[in-house]
Structure 1
């Protein structure tokens, strides 16, 4: 069955049926006739035909670095209802932290015109990323990183960790830091810089063996805490770039008889659900990930509609959540 048969059965023109499916003006009488035929036949218009006719897919591609991340899931939970309410379906593209796959998805979305817009939950920007972004012919919003020339919604990671570290240093003299790959500017470079600047402002020098590089995992946090405590057993605070890393550090300290926060203070970033149930409960940074997802979706809707023609950025606020892992 096609649109011509629907028109014939409803006793209206093909153009009238087309307007009906595209939310154009159709009189109440003809609209009711078309609906009766659709209800009777179960007809669903071809998505491919609609794309050819309107140039719109009503789909937004969301490229994410990993599916099992608490922060990413909160961002997606903010994105999805905003786009759904506007009539868009969300197509998730999970890269498993594979930078090359991120580039592939951007090129796929661009070349095949499968989506009307893209939200990129970004981690790093390689030359290949920048080239793919320039070639992208669909509206784009970058989420969780700041990139000049593009619409972005990102967290204030530098100030958040700087403030958190300053609070820790009120009762600590030998801090350490467990960070992540600094090519990830927000989680890596900005958080590390915030830690170092806070230490410098307090007159605290942090040696190289008190700074470790981890993956975004509990196991990696455990291993890095072990390396730090073996190299510098008098460490009295470990500032971690993520909650997951902090959970690993807490586990190591518990297993080796070190009290938290009496002997060693521990902090994270992210305020995940586990931060409130680990022992002791974790002091951390609360980023408004869900709200940032909502803001990115609204920004993309404005771009796709043509209302927002100039790239703009939104830097999110944060909160320091003090719990029992610090003094």
Structure 2
């Protein structure tokens, strides 16, 4: 289908179609007609034609969930290393863990001239789905799996299973869990599933009250740990979905007069620098965040070069870093 045929199918002029695909002004009514026709026909102008119209900008949009996140910083470092070597500049935006802002930034990058987008994602809503469908440039998702897109992920399920199994293998039998929203399929759902399957494989049951949901903050981990420790139930270890939560749990245990690891063990995921400087160094799972950024940038470059049109998901490996917080064997009860 050429542009003339597409314009006829959309019920708009050829010039309106041209302006739409070259980021010129198009009325909202015509924009809706064109987007409906794209949805129906799958039409897209050729890359060569777009390049002739100076579509190549050497700009890549990068959406991150949190400026202060160590994992995000490592990922952006990897992205920048690869793309800067190829003459690209990054347009970095921070969503502050607000899904609405993520959608706004995706819309912004869709409407303005960037060559591609790398999205460090946490949740996907129907609004995310709608705008991702309409993206006219390659998009790479980091940290989550998303059907139909190139993705770089960590093995969250296996990481959680491995960390929990470490404590179970040391004789622990009374687990508690502090996680995050299950809307986050990686850090929330997959890590919880890994934890639950590890205890199930060891014949251990857990009550709903033994599992707490927190925000991605140390203070939230501290509060949720206090809820567990003041519940009247007995625990010999707490598995936390992130290092921040684990650090908060460590503080709560100290305040409640519990020694770590003598009385209770704690482990997290992420292997941030925080794990090495807490009063008791924390056992954690090391994810290769910088490598994730490098791989995501390379995926984007491959898409821009049209080396592959088939979306793929790359799942990176991990290492378990055992530290003092899980060193002692649990007492047999």
| TM-score when normalising by structure 1 | 0.83
Q: Deviations over 1:219-257 (max 9, x none)?
A: 001000000111144111000000000000001111221
Q: CA deviation at 1:173?
A: 0.9
For residues 59 and 232 of structure 1, the distance between their equivalents in structure 2, rounded to whole angstroms, comes to 56
Query: Residue 147 of structure 1: SS of its match in structure 2?
Result: coil
Structure 1 residue aligned with 2:44: none
- Of the structure 1 ranges 304-313 and 189-198, higher mean CA displacement relative to structure 2 is found in 304-313
Whether the 8 Å contact between 1:210 and 1:232 is mirrored in structure 2 is: no
Structure 1 residue aligned with 2:77: 77
Structure 1 residue aligned with 2:213: 213
For residues 110 and 191 of structure 2, the distance between their equivalents in structure 1, rounded to whole angstroms, comes to 33
For residues 231 and 203 of structure 2, the distance between their equivalents in structure 1, rounded to whole angstroms, comes to 21
For residues 204 and 70 of structure 1, the distance between their equivalents in structure 2, rounded to whole angstroms, comes to 34
Give the 5 Å matches for 1:1-327.
53-112=53-112, 114-170=113-169, 171-326=171-326, 327=328
For residues 152 and 94 of structure 2, the distance between their equivalents in structure 1, rounded to whole angstroms, comes to 19
Whether the 8 Å contact between 1:120 and 1:141 is mirrored in structure 2 is: yes
| TM-score when normalising by structure 2 | 0.81
Query: Residue 72 of structure 1: SS of its match in structure 2?
Result: helix
Tell me, which stretches of 5 or more residues in structure 1 are unaligned?
1-50
Whether the 8 Å contact between 1:209 and 1:232 is mirrored in structure 2 is: no
**CA-atom RMSD in angstroms:** 1.1
For residues 256 and 104 of structure 1, the distance between their equivalents in structure 2, rounded to whole angstroms, comes to 44
Count of aligned pairs between the two proteins = 276
Query: Residue 141 of structure 2: SS of its match in structure 1?
Result: strand
Query: Residue 223 of structure 1: SS of its match in structure 2?
Result: helix
Moved over 4 A (4+): none
- Of the structure 1 ranges 194-203 and 306-315, higher mean CA displacement relative to structure 2 is found in 306-315
Q: Which has the larger radius of gyration?
A: 1
Whether the 8 Å contact between 1:149 and 1:311 is mirrored in structure 2 is: yes
Whether the 8 Å contact between 1:146 and 1:153 is mirrored in structure 2 is: yes
Q: Deviations over 1:282-307 (max 9, x none)?
A: 00000000101100000000001111
Q: Deviations over 1:123-179 (max 9, x none)?
A: 111011001100111111000001111110000000010111111112211010000
Q: CA deviation at 1:308?
A: 2.1
Whether the 8 Å contact between 1:283 and 1:321 is mirrored in structure 2 is: yes
Q: CA deviation at 1:52?
A: 8.1
Tell me, which stretches of 5 or more residues in structure 2 are unaligned?
1-50, 329-333
For residues 249 and 129 of structure 1, the distance between their equivalents in structure 2, rounded to whole angstroms, comes to 33
